[in-house]
Amino acid sequence: MSTFDAFASASAQARANASHAAYSAGSRILVGPFAYPLYRRFWMAGLLSFTAFWVQLITRSWLIQEMTGSPLMVTLIPVTMLLPMLFLSIPAGVLADRFDRRRIIIVMEAMAFIGYLALTLIAIFGVMQVWHVLALSALTGSLMALASPSRMSQVPNLVPPGEVRRAIGLSAVVFSLAQIAGPAVGGILIGRMGTDAALSASLFFSIPALLLYMSVRVEKASRMQAARTAPLKAVKQGFSYAFRDPVLRNLLLSGLVVVATIGTWAALMPTFASDVLNQGAEVLGALTLAVGVGALLGSLIVIGFGGRISHEKIEVFAVSAMTLSVIGFAMSPWLPLSLLFAMLAGLSQTSFMVTNMTVVQMATSEEYRGRVLGIRFLIIGTQPFGTIALGLAAEALGPQAAVAIVAVIGAVVYGAVQLATRPHRGVARSPAPRVSSSSLTMPVHVGEQASAGKSRSSGPG
């Protein structure tokens, strides 16, 4: 064999090995947690449940837009759905640490189905009024607030410790996929068959979701200390645990700023579709679909690269890109450009949210996970205040100027929070059984798996 042939053969073998390694890495990222049947069923249940939620959300927003034509009234739909998190997330976190999380999820899912059915019947019988939509949206938000800490806390109990980070990331993909499927189904059905058909369609996603949740049975994790502690003391312990730790404190405050400012932009999507772009419900569905596609890409990017880049760098880049994308969306008078910026905003926003939520979970021990996630969802519950402010600004300045100004304010405040609260390397951690300080940056460091294993030794594999 000639030297050239030998070199060519070696090069081909090297390319084949590299390709195989890349394929294996991708398989581990995307397939690893799906090797476990309980996680597969839980993941599919979440996809169906959130798809039903998104069909309802886009349909309710369009109903309010048609009935009132007011940007402020349109923003009340996400407000009424998110505001309950402000009041119920902390009690829900205590519940998740004290009681059977599976039962909590099932009860809340069943009640959500009843709410969807009620609004569908009201629409079919032609007696719909604005207060019906707002009241049932508040019910939906309350049920979601009560279920969310249990739903997210359950994920680490469905896979072995080595798959937890990917499982949490893939659980975020559920919401992204639903954000694609729900608006696509809802927008098409509203445009072609009316809002009654869209509301009815949500029921066909909610029923199998409930059945799948009922089929997911896991061993009860050891949470005896929380069960013995008085509820108010348990709440105090949860806040102390979260805010004494410099890493968790930075993550939670960063999430608060993004959620309450830049993250409110999508609440005015019906107004942009109707008043800025002069289009109908199908374009609203297309815009929301673009956000969902971006969110899916953002989730997959974080899952793929989260083990190589520090979470701090991912979050700062994501917030910067989100700010520019939201400003671009606000200023765009042209539908194709609006779709592009909506997709980029969805990508960057989800990259931030998935990274933030993943590190919060990995930094928290099983004993406190429900309460810390309750605080994280409490932060989401502050979004209605930002959304109302955005709606008032849109009434006074117009939706384009309002969205752009709020995005700039959010970016400035986020930068200030980073300067004030970001922990230095090697900072002392609070003495709690959790993942080591070095492993809280998303890259895999020496000793990370051992630390993670210790922090989850009480949970079922």
Whole-number pLDDT of residue 217: 85
Residue 71 lies in a domain: yes
Whole-number pLDDT of residue 126: 85
Residue 9 lies in a domain: no
Supply the CATH number for residue 438's domain.
Answer: 1.20.1250.20
Which residues have a Cβ under 8 Å from the Cβ of 306 and sit 6 or more positions away? Answer: 165, 169, 314, 355, 358, 442
pTM beyond 0.75: the answer is no
Distance CA 130, CA 41 (A): 36
Q: What amino acid occupies position 16?
A: A
Whole-number pLDDT of residue 111: 95
Residue 224 lies in a domain: no
Whole-number pLDDT of residue 321: 96
CA dist list (Å): 182 to 27, 143, 431, 455: 27, 19, 43, 37
CA dist list (Å): 178 to 110, 118, 185: 19, 22, 10
| pLDDT tens sequence for the chain (461 residues) | 443 344 344 444 544 443 343 334 444 445 678 888 999 999 999 999 999 998 998 899 888 888 888 877 887 888 888 788 888 888 888 888 888 889 999 999 999 999 999 999 999 998 888 899 999 999 999 999 899 888 988 888 888 888 887 888 788 778 778 877 887 788 888 888 888 999 999 999 999 999 999 999 876 554 545 556 677 888 888 888 888 888 899 999 999 999 999 999 988 888 898 888 888 777 887 888 888 889 888 888 887 776 677 788 889 999 999 999 999 999 998 999 999 999 999 999 989 998 898 888 888 887 888 888 888 888 887 888 898 899 899 989 999 999 999 999 999 999 999 998 877 554 434 333 343 333 444 433 323 333 333 333 333 33
460 and 222 in contact (C-beta within 8 Å)?
no
Residue 377 lies in a domain: yes
Q: Write out the residue range of the structural domain in which residue 325 sits.
A: 36-216+233-443
Q: What amino acid occupies position 342?
A: A
Residue 221 lies in a domain: no
Angle at 70 between CA 69 and CA 72, to 5 degrees: 155
* DSSP assignment of 102-138: HHHHHHHHHHHHHHHHHHHHHHHTT---HHHHHHHHH
* 3-state secondary structure string across 278-337: CCCHHHHHHHHHHHHHHHHHHHHHHHHHCCCCCHHHHHHHHHHHHHHHHHHHHHCCCHHH
Distance CA 345, CA 340 (A): 9
Residue 276 lies in a domain: yes
Residue 270 lies in a domain: yes
Distance CA 379, CA 249 (A): 12
Which residues have a Cβ under 8 Å from the Cβ of 302 and sit 6 or more positions away? Answer: 169, 172, 314, 350, 351, 354, 355, 358
Per DSSP, the three-state class of 158 is coil
Provide the 10 A C-beta neighbour count for residue 127.
9
CA dist list (Å): 269 to 28, 29, 349: 37, 33, 15
Distance CA 64, CA 136 (A): 13
Distance CA 268, CA 138 (A): 18
What total of structural domains would you count in the chain? 1
Residue 304 lies in a domain: yes
Distance CA 110, CA 273 (A): 33
Assign residue 270 a region (left: φ > 0; alpha: ψ between -120 and 50; beta: otherwise).
alpha
